[in-house]
Amino acid sequence: MIRRGRILRKNNNIRDMISENQLSMKDMIQPLFIIDGKNKREKIDSMEGIERKTIDLQLKDIENLVSLGLRSVIIFPSIDERKKTKKANEALNPKGLIPKAIKEIKKNFPELVLITDIALDPYNSDGHDGILKDGKILNDKTVEILVKQAVLHAKCGADFVAPSDMMDGRVYEIRKKLDDEKFNYVGIISYSAKYASSLYGPFRDALNSTPKTGDKKSYQINPANCNEAIKEVLDDEIEGADMVMIKPAIFYLDIITKVKNETYLPVVAYQVSGEYSMIKNASKNKILDLDSAIIESLLSIKRSGADLIISYFTQYIAQKKIINP
């Protein structure tokens, strides 16, 4: 007997009825690049359609996104080069760009889930995620600063802090200090499996955070490895992470699936800047249809096991209403 599988594919309503995975705005998180000043925007040449913006302009974008069903944003600072130091002092400035942004966003949108990046590379004159000495990253010294940064963001109103540095033991130390300071309601989304990928270039352009010397292979995961990623995820789960993240996404769908099978924590996947720019540039050169490619890429991430997706396409798909609110 022939099984006629095409019966279940013959029209759009039937296909929708039996669709195994769906995308909605509640799955999506919008990254925002923030600069100091007022009423300013800056194009990012390697990320067509994405801009750095001052807090006042980002608030207008957030208002629009919230009206379209967005629940969450993650914010990143683009810091004046003159404020960057070898000890990343600006990361702990209570009057700095990110503390101001947190307060303004939460004042205007108290129900919005606000995630902040915990890392030193935007503030470090060396461009690394940790404190550099004699060509080596000082893990424990870096963690001390990251803990203080996380507490500062919690005091300002962040809902989740997201350590993206890949230092050993930082989730435990952040959780312990947050609890000690009575911020037990502030969550941790750990960049648990952050790979040493070639796909971060446009993001580093956005923050001007490319390492001045060397690379990040001594703390980010080797793209050849899977078990190492699982180990990092399980370590972070034990240390107190509330969610775990895999970064990048499309090149690491197998990792997302394996992580999902190993943990009961929500899994976040980050569709990174290089993934965004590849799809945008292919569309610009009429190699593929933009809307179809965006949805297919996001569905592949969802299908692989991601509960939440950070994507630079979030604002675009919200405004075009090509997924459900």
Predicted local confidence at residue 43, as pLDDT? 96
58 is written with which tokens? Answer: 């980002």
| Cα 240–Cα 188–Cα 221 angle in degrees, nearest 5 | 85
**Contact status, residue 312 vs residue 271, Cβ threshold 8 Å:** yes
pLDDT bin (cut points 50, 70, 90) of residue 252 is very high
* Closest by Cα among 262, 268, 282, 267 to 311: 268
Indicate the residue type of 110: P
**Residues labelled catalytic:** 194, 247
Predicted local confidence at residue 7, as pLDDT? 86
pLDDT bin (cut points 50, 70, 90) of residue 305 is very high
Predicted local confidence at residue 68, as pLDDT? 94
Other C-beta atoms within 10 Å of 242: how many?
Answer: 17
Q: How far apart (Å, rounded) are the C-alpha atoms in residues 47 and 273?
A: 7
* Closest by Cα among 132, 44, 137 to 84: 132
pLDDT digits (tens, 9 = 90+) for 83-118: 999 999 999 999 999 999 999 999 999 999 999 999
Other C-beta atoms within 10 Å of 116: how many?
Answer: 30
Q: How far apart (Å, rounded) are the C-alpha atoms in residues 201 and 213?
A: 15
Predicted local confidence at residue 48, as pLDDT? 95
Predicted local confidence at residue 208, as pLDDT? 83
Predicted local confidence at residue 128, as pLDDT? 87
Q: Compute, in degrees rounded to 10, the torsion defined by CA atoms 207, 212, 218, 220.
A: 20
DSSP 103-116: HHHHHH-TTSEEEE
pLDDT bin (cut points 50, 70, 90) of residue 218 is confident
Q: Residue 194 above 90 pLDDT?
A: yes
Task: Give me the percent of the chain exceeding a pLDDT of 90.
Answer: 85
pLDDT bin (cut points 50, 70, 90) of residue 323 is confident
- Full set of structural domains in the chain with CATH: 21-320 (3.20.20.70)
265 DSSP β-pair partners: none
**Contact status, residue 131 vs residue 145, Cβ threshold 8 Å:** yes
